[in-house]
Structure 1
Amino acid sequence: MKIETVDDLRKLRYGIIGAGALGGFYGSLLCKNGYRTAFLMRSTAKDVKEHGLKINSAWGKWEVHPEVFDSPQDMGVCDILIVGLKTISNVSLKEIFKHTVGPQTIVITLQNGFGNEEYIESMLPDNSATPGISRVIGGCSFICCWRENSTVINHTAGGNIEFAELDGVERPRIKAICQMLNDMKIPCAIKSSPADVRWHKLVWNIPFSGLGLVAKADTAAVLNSPELRATARRIMAEIQMIAKQDGIDITDKFCEWQFERTESMGHYKSSMQIDYECKREAEVEAILGEPVRRARKLGVAVPLMEMIYGAAKLLNCLNIQDAK
């Protein structure tokens, strides 16, 4: 499948796997801009089929009526799949890909945490038309959005996306995808590697999501507490050390900017904190556990991250037991 320009991308069929707040938001923008987009949904499929999807965004308000499917068999093969699924549901991907991935399908992951690109690649059917070139593109979204109900998504801040090819090569396909999103007014950039993208995202995710769950503190509470704010900055310093050992430079200026941009979020709760409060399993392993394991492998001491991970893991387990 030749992808060199935005015009090439306009001919394709897109599939959103995990059309929750994040997947639904970006999928709605594809629909709004005339791209043929199918949503794979479970519990919300019937409501979205009947009423459409409404977006209340910092970028405006819109409503779309996409193709909606409640099974991968009915959805069928797509040219580009965007995975916004929570990492705790990754076990379902092999069955989903069996019906939605063709020989030339490209899979873009916008999931949180580490290890997603490798896992997704291992779940793809062995039918690639481009052996030697990964069909997976790693990405992260820096966004504040959440579902108000089954048919309404709220977006209050952020929205930019960073991508990287697994081997770091800037192929025409990733340049065209980035241009397409920029044309849609979604700020987009290409980075040197998935690790570069993910370590930078985790500079915010680990302290604010981790403290949100363990201390039951929204972003405003973390910022307004001298102790929690200082702890968040020390966690960021640990992430800087791991990333440096992994070949990624994260500047102090970038860390300080996390506090500046979080000020505009108000009393925002991360998806990890919301999942915990709703008695759902939180993405503790992908966001907290895997970075800690990588730190151990690289020989970097991260006592604060170890403590946050241990506490969050226990709370998550107890929470799941209580929900049963």
Structure 2
Amino acid sequence: MSSKRSYAIIGTGALGGYYGGLLARAGFDVHFLLRSDFDHVQQHGLQIDSKNGNFHLPQVNAYRSAAEMPACDVTIVAIKTTANQQLAEILAATTREGGVVLVLQNGLHVEADSAAVVGPDRVLGGCCFLCSNKVGPGHIDHIDYGRIAFGEYRADGSVRPISERTREIEADLKLASIPAEAVDDLIKVRWQKLMWNIPFNGLSVVLDASTAEIMNHPASEALAEQIIRDVRAAAMQCGKSIDEAFVNKMMNDTRAMVPYDSSMRVDFKQGRPMEVEAIVGNPLRELQRHGGQSPRLEMLYQQLTFFDRRRTKQHTSRG
């Protein structure tokens, strides 16, 4: 892998726009795939508002289709998992021979779709502990946090030593002022992220509430903590040990968080498909494969599936 890597950003939204913008600001060769924002970004560039300092990129390498993009050393997948059917066409165009794919999507086993295209040995996965929203065309509002924990993908979920290429990408991210941590157990990190994603994405839709609203009512706060503990128990059943102190960390971090609408609630409010399967369905099925059950997680999954299918029917009837 070249000492000066090129990056393709697949999905220039709240996550891809923010991290890709930081990489571009740091001088890396970054190429952005856009859809509805293409004309605006091509003319006006990217605007990043951040708690760490606002910045504007007046000119970026913007593309309307993956076929127009150069093959890059690292392709960062930042689209929602509900659009993964597009990956076969996209990754074939954007990933050079010997290049790697870094999957920065929410959920469990989300790397499998990318691995099916480029091969599992060329895939890394990562979790972003980030509060960020896209607030307008080419306009990203970074609210809080920003750490990425990532590592080598293994289909069997086993621990894998941190590779040289992972260390190189970690160094690139840090050079771009992105707090990055290379890890040897990607699946454990995904379960840790699910300890936030499942309760706060799920409850934000079911209760129609922001993180602050959930934490500011004793009943919903208690429910969130119960679900966090359920997710930890599921991880343990699946062979991933997570210290109980991580439960308190999730609660305390959310209390300290700037009031925030989860990505699932944003999608729900805007009538888009929600990542129910990746975030809740896949972990629940993994638990069941290991002989476990979780009534609360099953109920949350059923509720979210109902909301998601009702949204689909409403959208179809309007069409």
Residue of structure 2 in register with 1:130 after alignment: none
Deviation at 1:263, TM superposition (A): 2.0
Structure 2 counterpart of 1:22, one-letter code: L
Structure 2 counterpart of 1:112, one-letter code: N
- Is the 8 Å Cα contact of residues 220 and 263 (structure 1) preserved in structure 2? yes
Structure 1 counterpart of 2:219, one-letter code: E
Residue of structure 1 in register with 2:315 after alignment: 323
Per-residue CA shift, 1:14-33, capped at 9, x if unaligned? 10011111000000000000
**Matched residue count:** 310
1:179 paired residue among 160, 171, 176: 171
Structure 1 counterpart of 2:215, one-letter code: L
SS in 2 for 1:138: strand
Deviation at 1:181, TM superposition (A): 1.8
Residue of structure 2 in register with 1:129 after alignment: none
Residue of structure 2 in register with 1:53 after alignment: 46
2:148 paired residue among 161, 173, 187: 161
Residue of structure 2 in register with 1:25 after alignment: 18
- Is the 8 Å Cα contact of residues 26 and 175 (structure 2) preserved in structure 1? no
SS in 2 for 1:97: helix
Residue of structure 1 in register with 2:299 after alignment: 307
Per-residue CA shift, 1:288-316, capped at 9, x if unaligned? 11111111111122111100000000111
Residue of structure 1 in register with 2:27 after alignment: 34
Structure 2 counterpart of 1:93, one-letter code: L
Structure 1 counterpart of 2:310, one-letter code: L
- Is the 8 Å Cα contact of residues 241 and 300 (structure 1) preserved in structure 2? no
Per-residue CA shift, 1:43-64, capped at 9, x if unaligned? 1111001011101101101111
- Output the TM-score relative to the length of structure 2: 0.94
Separation in 1, partners of 2:177, 2:8 = 20
Separation in 2, partners of 1:158, 1:320 = 32
Per-residue CA shift, 1:190-230, capped at 9, x if unaligned? 22222112101000000000000111111011101111111
Deviation at 1:98, TM superposition (A): 2.2
Residue of structure 2 in register with 1:84 after alignment: 78
Per-residue CA shift, 1:233-272, capped at 9, x if unaligned? 1111111112112222222211111121112333311010
1:283 paired residue among 249, 259, 275: 275
- Is the 8 Å Cα contact of residues 129 and 145 (structure 2) preserved in structure 1? yes
SS in 2 for 1:60: coil
Separation in 2, partners of 1:185, 1:120 = 27
Separation in 2, partners of 1:190, 1:302 = 31
Separation in 2, partners of 1:241, 1:259 = 16
Separation in 2, partners of 1:152, 1:288 = 29
SS in 1 for 2:89: helix
1:210 aligns with 2:202: yes
Deviation at 1:185, TM superposition (A): 2.5
Deviation at 1:105, TM superposition (A): 1.3
Structure 2 counterpart of 1:71, one-letter code: S
Deviation at 1:106, TM superposition (A): 0.6
- Of all paired residues, the percent bearing the same amino acid is 36
Residue of structure 1 in register with 2:262 after alignment: 270
- Is the 8 Å Cα contact of residues 164 and 197 (structure 1) preserved in structure 2? no
Gaps (5+ residues) in structure 1? 3-7, 127-132
Give the alignment's Cα RMSD to 1 decimal: 1.3
Gaps (5+ residues) in structure 2? 155-159
Residue of structure 2 in register with 1:62 after alignment: 55
Residue of structure 2 in register with 1:260 after alignment: 252
SS in 2 for 1:137: strand
1:139 aligns with 2:131: no
SS in 2 for 1:186: coil
Separation in 2, partners of 1:233, 1:192 = 28
Separation in 2, partners of 1:255, 1:104 = 39
2:36 paired residue among 39, 43, 46: 43
Residue of structure 2 in register with 1:5 after alignment: none
Separation in 2, partners of 1:280, 1:183 = 35
Residue of structure 1 in register with 2:115 after alignment: 121
- Is the 8 Å Cα contact of residues 19 and 178 (structure 2) preserved in structure 1? no
SS in 1 for 2:96: strand
1:242 aligns with 2:234: yes
Greater CA drift, 169-178 or 81-90: 169-178
Structure 2 counterpart of 1:171, one-letter code: S
- Output the TM-score relative to the length of structure 1: 0.92
Greater CA drift, 26-35 or 174-183: 174-183
